[in-house]
Protein backbone atom coordinates (compact mmCIF):
# COMPACT_ATOMS: atom_id res chain seq x y z
CA UNK A 1 0.00 0.00 0.00
CA UNK A 2 1.29 3.48 -0.88
CA UNK A 3 0.29 6.94 0.28
CA UNK A 4 1.57 10.49 0.01
CA UNK A 5 0.81 11.14 3.67
CA UNK A 6 3.90 10.99 5.90
CA UNK A 7 3.69 8.22 8.46
CA UNK A 8 5.18 10.31 11.26
CA UNK A 9 4.29 13.81 12.40
CA UNK A 10 6.65 16.56 13.53
CA UNK A 11 4.14 19.42 13.65
CA UNK A 12 3.96 22.07 16.36
CA UNK A 13 2.54 20.83 19.65
CA UNK A 14 0.61 23.13 21.99
CA UNK A 15 2.17 23.77 25.38
CA UNK A 16 -1.00 25.09 27.06
CA UNK A 17 -4.60 24.00 27.52
CA UNK A 18 -6.79 24.70 24.50
CA UNK A 19 -8.76 27.88 25.21
CA UNK A 20 -12.11 26.31 24.35
CA UNK A 21 -11.36 22.89 25.80
CA UNK A 22 -14.78 22.45 27.42
CA UNK A 23 -16.70 23.49 24.32
CA UNK A 24 -14.60 21.21 22.09
CA UNK A 25 -14.95 18.30 24.51
CA UNK A 26 -18.73 18.62 24.82
CA UNK A 27 -19.23 19.22 21.09
CA UNK A 28 -17.21 16.15 20.16
CA UNK A 29 -18.99 14.08 22.79
CA UNK A 30 -22.41 14.79 21.32
CA UNK A 31 -21.16 14.64 17.73
CA UNK A 32 -19.68 11.19 18.24
CA UNK A 33 -22.92 9.79 19.68
CA UNK A 34 -25.26 11.49 17.22
CA UNK A 35 -23.30 11.40 13.95
CA UNK A 36 -19.98 9.55 14.03
CA UNK A 37 -20.91 6.25 15.69
CA UNK A 38 -24.48 6.30 17.05
CA UNK A 39 -25.05 2.52 17.20
CA UNK A 40 -23.57 1.89 20.69
CA UNK A 41 -25.73 4.67 22.15
CA UNK A 42 -29.16 3.88 20.67
CA UNK A 43 -30.55 2.41 23.89
CA UNK A 44 -28.60 4.56 26.32
CA UNK A 45 -26.42 7.54 25.51
CA UNK A 46 -23.61 9.04 27.54
CA UNK A 47 -24.17 12.18 29.61
CA UNK A 48 -21.56 14.54 28.16
CA UNK A 49 -21.79 17.04 31.03
CA UNK A 50 -21.17 14.24 33.52
CA UNK A 51 -18.21 13.01 31.44
CA UNK A 52 -16.75 16.52 31.47
CA UNK A 53 -17.01 16.53 35.25
CA UNK A 54 -15.23 13.17 35.54
CA UNK A 55 -12.58 14.30 33.06
CA UNK A 56 -11.70 17.58 34.76
CA UNK A 57 -11.75 16.08 38.25
CA UNK A 58 -8.74 13.99 37.22
CA UNK A 59 -6.44 17.00 36.75
CA UNK A 60 -8.10 20.29 37.76
CA UNK A 61 -6.80 22.06 40.89
CA UNK A 62 -3.72 19.82 40.90
CA UNK A 63 -0.07 20.36 40.14
CA UNK A 64 0.32 19.75 36.38
CA UNK A 65 2.61 16.72 36.81
CA UNK A 66 0.64 15.17 39.68
CA UNK A 67 -2.13 13.48 37.67
CA UNK A 68 -1.88 9.69 37.42
CA UNK A 69 -3.68 7.28 35.15
CA UNK A 70 -5.70 6.07 38.15
CA UNK A 71 -7.24 9.56 38.39
CA UNK A 72 -8.98 8.93 35.06
CA UNK A 73 -10.59 5.67 36.21
CA UNK A 74 -14.06 7.18 36.94
CA UNK A 75 -14.02 8.94 33.57
CA UNK A 76 -12.93 5.88 31.60
CA UNK A 77 -15.49 3.68 33.35
CA UNK A 78 -18.27 6.13 32.46
CA UNK A 79 -17.17 6.73 28.85
CA UNK A 80 -16.28 3.22 27.66
CA UNK A 81 -18.72 1.60 25.21
CA UNK A 82 -19.05 -1.49 23.05
CA UNK A 83 -16.75 -1.39 20.03
CA UNK A 84 -17.78 -1.89 16.42
CA UNK A 85 -17.27 -5.19 14.62
CA UNK A 86 -14.25 -3.81 12.75
CA UNK A 87 -10.82 -5.19 13.55
CA UNK A 88 -9.08 -3.11 16.21
CA UNK A 89 -5.94 -1.29 15.12
CA UNK A 90 -3.08 -0.37 17.44
CA UNK A 91 -0.16 1.77 16.37
CA UNK A 92 3.14 3.26 17.37
CA UNK A 93 4.78 6.40 15.86
CA UNK A 94 2.66 6.50 12.69
CA UNK A 95 0.19 9.31 13.41
CA UNK A 96 -1.42 10.88 11.28
CA UNK A 97 -1.12 8.07 8.71
CA UNK A 98 -3.15 5.77 10.93
CA UNK A 99 -6.32 7.83 10.39
CA UNK A 100 -6.14 7.27 6.62
CA UNK A 101 -5.28 3.61 7.00
CA UNK A 102 -8.23 3.01 9.32
CA UNK A 103 -10.56 5.15 7.15
CA UNK A 104 -11.59 7.00 10.31
CA UNK A 105 -13.10 3.89 11.85
CA UNK A 106 -14.72 2.50 8.70
CA UNK A 107 -11.99 -0.07 8.00
CA UNK A 108 -10.37 -0.55 11.40
CA UNK A 109 -11.17 0.80 14.85
CA UNK A 110 -8.42 2.79 16.55
CA UNK A 111 -8.64 4.38 19.98
CA UNK A 112 -9.40 7.69 18.23
CA UNK A 113 -12.50 6.03 16.74
CA UNK A 114 -13.96 5.47 20.20
CA UNK A 115 -15.61 8.04 22.44
CA UNK A 116 -12.61 7.83 24.80
CA UNK A 117 -10.22 8.93 22.09
CA UNK A 118 -12.45 11.09 19.90
CA UNK A 119 -13.30 13.67 22.55
CA UNK A 120 -9.70 14.74 23.24
CA UNK A 121 -7.73 13.72 20.16
CA UNK A 122 -4.87 16.21 19.58
CA UNK A 123 -5.97 18.40 22.49
CA UNK A 124 -3.78 19.64 25.34
CA UNK A 125 -4.67 20.26 28.98
CA UNK A 126 -3.20 20.54 32.46
CA UNK A 127 -4.21 21.73 35.90
CA UNK A 128 -3.08 24.29 38.45
CA UNK A 129 -3.77 24.83 42.13
CA UNK A 130 -5.24 28.31 41.66
CA UNK A 131 -8.60 29.21 40.12
CA UNK A 132 -9.92 28.25 37.62
CA UNK A 133 -8.05 25.00 38.26
CA UNK A 134 -7.03 24.63 34.60
CA UNK A 135 -3.88 26.25 33.22
CA UNK A 136 -4.55 27.96 29.90
CA UNK A 137 -1.12 29.61 29.69
CA UNK A 138 1.53 26.94 30.11
CA UNK A 139 1.62 23.15 30.45
CA UNK A 140 4.72 21.05 31.13
CA UNK A 141 6.21 18.71 28.57
CA UNK A 142 6.81 15.01 29.15
CA UNK A 143 10.46 15.82 29.87
CA UNK A 144 9.45 18.46 32.43
CA UNK A 145 7.30 15.99 34.34
CA UNK A 146 9.90 13.24 34.18
CA UNK A 147 12.31 15.53 36.04
CA UNK A 148 9.94 15.55 39.03
CA UNK A 149 9.04 11.85 38.69
CA UNK A 150 5.58 12.68 37.38
CA UNK A 151 3.73 12.52 34.08
CA UNK A 152 1.62 14.93 32.07
CA UNK A 153 -2.19 14.76 32.34
CA UNK A 154 -2.29 13.86 28.63
CA UNK A 155 0.08 10.93 29.00
CA UNK A 156 -1.78 9.66 32.07
CA UNK A 157 -5.02 9.91 30.11
CA UNK A 158 -3.77 7.78 27.23
CA UNK A 159 -2.37 5.20 29.62
CA UNK A 160 -5.76 4.65 31.23
CA UNK A 161 -7.86 4.84 28.06
CA UNK A 162 -5.46 2.45 26.29
CA UNK A 163 -6.16 -0.06 29.06
CA UNK A 164 -9.87 0.16 28.37
CA UNK A 165 -9.54 0.11 24.57
CA UNK A 166 -7.37 -3.00 24.57
CA UNK A 167 -9.57 -4.72 27.16
CA UNK A 168 -12.58 -4.37 24.83
CA UNK A 169 -10.70 -5.86 21.86
CA UNK A 170 -11.94 -9.18 20.46
CA UNK A 171 -10.99 -11.36 17.48
CA UNK A 172 -8.17 -10.36 15.16
CA UNK A 173 -6.15 -7.21 15.80
CA UNK A 174 -3.47 -5.35 13.87
CA UNK A 175 -0.65 -3.00 14.81
CA UNK A 176 1.11 -0.41 12.63
CA UNK A 177 4.80 0.14 13.38
CA UNK A 178 7.18 2.69 11.86
CA UNK A 179 9.96 0.96 9.93
CA UNK A 180 11.63 4.31 9.24
CA UNK A 181 12.45 4.64 12.94
CA UNK A 182 15.59 3.21 14.46
CA UNK A 183 13.37 1.50 17.02
CA UNK A 184 10.04 0.60 15.34
CA UNK A 185 8.93 -1.41 18.36
CA UNK A 186 9.63 0.20 21.73
CA UNK A 187 9.19 -2.23 24.61
CA UNK A 188 8.46 0.77 26.89
CA UNK A 189 5.76 2.33 24.70
CA UNK A 190 2.07 2.52 25.61
CA UNK A 191 1.35 -0.15 23.01
CA UNK A 192 3.86 -2.57 24.54
CA UNK A 193 3.25 -1.91 28.22
CA UNK A 194 -0.50 -1.22 28.34
CA UNK A 195 -2.18 -2.52 25.19
CA UNK A 196 -0.33 -5.58 23.93
CA UNK A 197 -0.05 -7.12 27.39
CA UNK A 198 -3.79 -6.59 27.88
CA UNK A 199 -4.83 -8.73 24.90
CA UNK A 200 -6.06 -12.07 26.23
CA UNK A 201 -7.14 -15.27 24.46
CA UNK A 202 -9.95 -15.75 26.98
CA UNK A 203 -11.50 -12.64 25.39
CA UNK A 204 -11.17 -14.27 21.95
CA UNK A 205 -8.08 -12.27 20.96
CA UNK A 206 -6.25 -14.95 19.02
CA UNK A 207 -4.30 -13.17 16.28
CA UNK A 208 -2.11 -10.07 15.99
CA UNK A 209 -1.23 -8.82 12.50
CA UNK A 210 2.00 -6.74 12.53
CA UNK A 211 2.25 -4.18 9.70
CA UNK A 212 5.57 -2.34 9.39
CA UNK A 213 5.52 0.87 7.35
CA UNK A 214 8.20 3.15 5.96
CA UNK A 215 8.17 6.57 4.31
CA UNK A 216 8.15 6.57 0.51
CA UNK A 217 11.68 7.28 -0.66
CA UNK A 218 12.97 7.08 2.89
CA UNK A 219 15.57 4.81 4.40
CA UNK A 220 14.33 1.50 5.79
CA UNK A 221 16.24 1.24 9.05
CA UNK A 222 14.54 -1.66 10.82
CA UNK A 223 15.60 -5.29 10.66
CA UNK A 224 12.36 -7.16 10.11
CA UNK A 225 12.99 -10.41 12.06
CA UNK A 226 14.15 -8.43 15.11
CA UNK A 227 10.87 -6.53 15.30
CA UNK A 228 8.80 -9.67 14.86
CA UNK A 229 10.82 -11.48 17.52
CA UNK A 230 10.44 -8.63 20.04
CA UNK A 231 6.68 -8.57 19.60
CA UNK A 232 6.56 -12.36 19.71
CA UNK A 233 8.20 -12.42 23.12
CA UNK A 234 5.59 -10.09 24.60
CA UNK A 235 2.80 -11.96 22.79
CA UNK A 236 3.89 -15.17 24.47
CA UNK A 237 4.20 -13.54 27.87
CA UNK A 238 0.71 -12.05 27.58
CA UNK A 239 -0.70 -15.27 26.06
CA UNK A 240 -1.68 -13.82 22.68
CA UNK A 241 -1.53 -17.00 20.66
CA UNK A 242 -0.64 -16.04 17.11
CA UNK A 243 0.84 -13.22 15.05
CA UNK A 244 2.13 -12.48 11.57
CA UNK A 245 4.14 -9.65 10.01
CA UNK A 246 3.83 -7.60 6.84
CA UNK A 247 5.80 -4.74 5.37
CA UNK A 248 4.18 -1.81 3.53
CA UNK A 249 5.23 1.53 2.11
CA UNK A 250 3.51 4.52 3.66
The residue ranking higher by pLDDT, 91 or 57, is 57
List the one residue out of 167, 25, 190, 188 whose CA is nearest residue 95. Answer: 190
Give the DSSP per-residue string, 88-123. EEEEES-TTHHHHHTTTTTSEE-GGGSHHHHTTTT-
pLDDT, tens digit (0-9, with 9 covering 90-100), for 184-208: 777 788 888 888 888 777 666 778 8
180 Cβ neighbours under 8 A, 6+ residues apart: 7, 8, 213, 214, 215, 218, 219, 220, 221, 222
List the one residue out of 80, 73, 25 whose CA is nearest residue 49. Answer: 25
* Residue 208 phi, psi (nearest 5): -120, 120
Quote the mean pLDDT of the chain.
Answer: 82
Question: For the chain, which domains are there?
Answer: 21-249 (1.20.82.10)
Distance of CA 159 to the CA centre of its chain: 8
Stretch (H or E) spanning 247? strand 242-249
pLDDT, tens digit (0-9, with 9 covering 90-100), for 39-86: 999 889 999 999 999 999 999 999 999 999 999 999 999 999 988 767
Pairs from 45-49 (Cβ < 8 Å, separation ≥ 24): 46/78, 46/79, 46/81, 46/115
In order of 16, 53, 209, the CA distances from 134 in angstroms are 10, 13, 41
pLDDT in the model for residue 188: 81
List the one residue out of 152, 232, 248 whose CA is nearest residue 196. Answer: 232
Query: Which pTM was predicted?
Result: 0.82
User: Per-residue pLDDT averaged across 223-229, rounded?
Assistant: 54
pLDDT in the model for residue 13: 53
List the one residue out of 212, 172, 163 whose CA is nearest residue 89. Answer: 172
pLDDT, tens digit (0-9, with 9 covering 90-100), for 116-137: 999 999 999 999 999 999 999 9
Residue 239: pLDDT over 60 = no
Amino acid sequence: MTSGIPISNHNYVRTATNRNLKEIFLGRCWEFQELVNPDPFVDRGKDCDALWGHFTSAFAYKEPCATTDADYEPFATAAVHALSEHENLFWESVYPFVTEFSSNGKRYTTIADTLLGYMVDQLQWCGQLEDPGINYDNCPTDDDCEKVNGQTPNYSYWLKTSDYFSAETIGRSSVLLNGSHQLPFDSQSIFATRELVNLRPELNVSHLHIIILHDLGGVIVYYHPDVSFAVSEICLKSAVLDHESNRSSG
